[in-house]
Amino acid sequence: MRVWAVVSTLLLCTAAAGGWVAYGLYRVDRSIERVPVEGLADPPVPETTQPTDSAPETAPSTLATRSRPEFEVDPNAVAAHPNARFYLLLGSDSRAGHPFAATQGMTGRGRTDVIVLVRVIPGRVPMLLSIPRDLRVRLPGSSGYEKVNAAYARGGLSLAVKTITERFGIPVHHVALVDFAGFERVIEVLGGVEVCTEFAERDSYSDLSKEAGCQTLDGPAALSYVRARHAEQLVGGTWRTDPSGDFGRMARQQAVLFGLARKLRDAQNLARLPSLAAALEGSVSVDEGFTLAEMLALGSDYGGSLDETVKAALPGKGGLVGGVYYVRPNQETQSIVDGFKSGTL
Give the CB-side neighbour count of residue 238, counting CA atoms within 13 A.
3
Q: What is the pLDDT of residue 139?
A: 94
For residue 253, what are the domain limits?
68-342
Q: What is the pLDDT of residue 12?
A: 35
Q: Which residues of the chain have pLDDT under 70?
A: 1-21, 23, 46-69, 94-109, 267
Quick check: is 324 in a domain?
yes
Quick check: is 110 in a domain?
yes
Quick check: is 85 in a domain?
yes
Q: What is the pLDDT of residue 55?
A: 40
| Planar angle of CA 80, 151, 67, nearest 5 degrees | 65
CATH number reported for the structural domain that contains residue 253 in this entry: 3.40.630.190
Measured CA distances, 73 to 54, 90, 138 (Å): 21, 21, 11
Q: What is the pLDDT of residue 97?
A: 46
Quick check: is 17 in a domain?
no
Quick check: is 8 in a domain?
no
Q: What is the pLDDT of residue 61?
A: 39
Quick check: is 32 in a domain?
no
What total of structural domains would you count in the chain?
Answer: 1
Alpha-carbon span 17 to 51, nearest angstrom: 42
Quick check: is 76 in a domain?
yes
Query: Do 112 and 152 meet the contact criterion of CB atoms below 8 Å apart?
Result: yes
CA 233 to chain CA mean position, Å: 25
198: which DSSP letter? S
Please give, one letter per residue, the 3-state secondary structure of 123-174: CCCCEEEECCCCEEEECCCCCCEEECCHHHHHHHHHHHHHHHHHHHCCCCCE
Quick check: is 40 in a domain?
no
